[in-house]
Structures are given as structure tokens and as C-alpha cells.
Structure 1
Amino acid sequence: MTEATPWLLVDDDEAFATVLGRALARRGVETVLAHTPEQALAAMAGPVPARCVLDLNLAGDSGLHLLPELLARNPALDVVVLTGYGSIATAVDAMRRGAVNYLCKPVTVDQLLAAFEPETMPDLRPAPPSVEELEWEHIQRVLGEHDGNVSATARALNMHRRTLQRKLQKRSRWRG
């Protein structure tokens, strides 16, 4: 497989992006790395990429905020969103904003390549969700509705802000 145009890899984890870029290079895919939203937008000024791998969490900022800006610069751009903290709410949000697929880390290069195929749908959940997963999904949905504002989310959930922060921290350590 040889890609005519480079792929844009946007991930704040420089080591991960470098390793992924090398793995794709072994498959004949040239990549351009960006570690911040600003670098990603600057990369769109060069040879316009046809595909983008976008991390959901960019040093505290959401890759979902960057997604519409990337698509505004290249409406034909195929974007796969990667995350270490998958949820149905963020997957739906990513797809609504224009992503072609959504994958949870860790992923193999084969999974990533397959994610760009039109018939490939994300396999988000192999089994019915647990009560904890349903709670997490609900928290993520409400957090998204409040643009990541923890205090507003806690009020909407009728939950103390510190309790919500503990749940978010516990889940990130558990999933990380």
C-alpha cells in the first residue's frame, strides 16, 4: 500500500505519534506529525492530507474541537478519532462532527488501516455494558453538553463537584 498524499497524525504524545508514524511508513504511508491543534492546522497549509488520525485528548483540549476546523480546510479529509477513554457519547459526537471512524487505544496498524475503509464500523462494545459503564457514558454525555465544565456538569447531575472529579480521576487511572 502506497499513499499518494501524507496522512496527518495529531497526538500530543510525541512518542506514540512517532511510533505510529514509523509503523505506517513500513506500510508505505507517509505521515506528517502534529502535537498541538496549531501544528495540525499549520500542516493543512502544506500538501493537503487525505487522511487524519486525531487523538481525542490533546493536552487537555478536545480533538473534537479541532475536527471541524480540519474539515473546513479540507472537506474531503477522512478522520479517524483515537482515544484511550472511549465512550459511546464521544463516538457519536465524533461521527456527527465528521469523523469516519472512532477507535479506542491501543490499536494495531491493521485496525487503523481498516478504520478508513467505508464498510468498517467501530466495534465499541463486545458485551452488554455494566452499571459502571452506563454511569460513565451518562457522565460523559452530560460533560459534553456542558463543554467539559466540571462544575456545571456536577450541578446538572445533582452531584457534588468533588465527587464528580473523583469519578473522573478514578476512571482515567483505571482506563489509563
Structure 2
Amino acid sequence: MPTQSLPSRDTRHLLQWRPVHLLLVLLLLAGGGEAWRMKEAARHFVDGGVKVETEGTKGTITGGELVLDLPLTVYNGTDSAIVTVNMWTEAFGCPQEDAPQAQCTRLHSSEQLIDMNVQSGSSGSADRQIRTGLPPSMAGDYVRVRRRLMGVTSDVERAEQRQEGP
């Protein structure tokens, strides 16, 4: 049975070249990954508002010090850029995970002013870590971390603050 061959200048010859197959697979993976990230981020957006997530926050006692890992993700659904996020963080040493707050020892309290540049319709993240000493006595070594959003500043608000002056 005779086989048909392609004319020498036919672009379909490129499909027989293995590096092109590899390149096409990489392009599909990159495009698919980006599409998945966009779809995932869209679930978090609040139209006309800002959503701040602190998933992954944890505290541990390591080498005689308190280590707080403080991730932050901002989803900006407003018309302005978000330039600062203000958080309050408290950490407590408790005898066990479900212990009442009264049985715990306060290990740390602080405010974090996190500079960001999250444009309208996009998201941004920041990771902070706080390391600090421990008090001489504590109720336990289970670390409970609480974070509270104190405020969000947009580029418009910052410009207004600058115009008002000190």
C-alpha cells in the first residue's frame, strides 16, 4: 500500500519534530495552571470590596522561642489599589488545643503594618515571621494564634491623607 508523503515545505512536518511536542505540552501546562489560578482567585473576590485571608497562620515553640508564621492574602475587588494592611496578632500558650482562654498564658501581642501593592481586580500575598522569647512560666506549649484585621488603606486614602498633612 503506498503512503502519502507531505511536500517538503508543508508546516505539518513540524508536528513530527519532538521538541515542538515538548513546547506544546509546556504551553498547555502553563496556560492551564494560570487559568486554574485565576478561577481559584475569582472564588475569593468580593465585588466592590476587599477580602483578607490568614489561612496557614501558626505558632510553634522551637529552641526556647516562640515562632509565629503569619501568611496573608488580599483579594482586591475595589476600584483602588490596596497599599497597606493593618493586622493585630495575639499568641497564647495553652495546656491543650481546646482549653478555655482563661487557662492560657499570653505570649505575644503586636500590630503589623504590612505594605502591599494589590491592584484593582487582583490579589497579593505576604509572609511574615515573628520570633520572640518566652515568659519564665506558661500554661502549656500548645500555641493558639489569633489575628484580627484592623484596617486596609487604599492608594486613594493614602493620597487624601498626604493632602491633609500632619
TM-score by length of 2: 0.23
Higher helix share: 1
Higher strand share: 2
> Who wins on radius of gyration, i.e. which is larger?
2
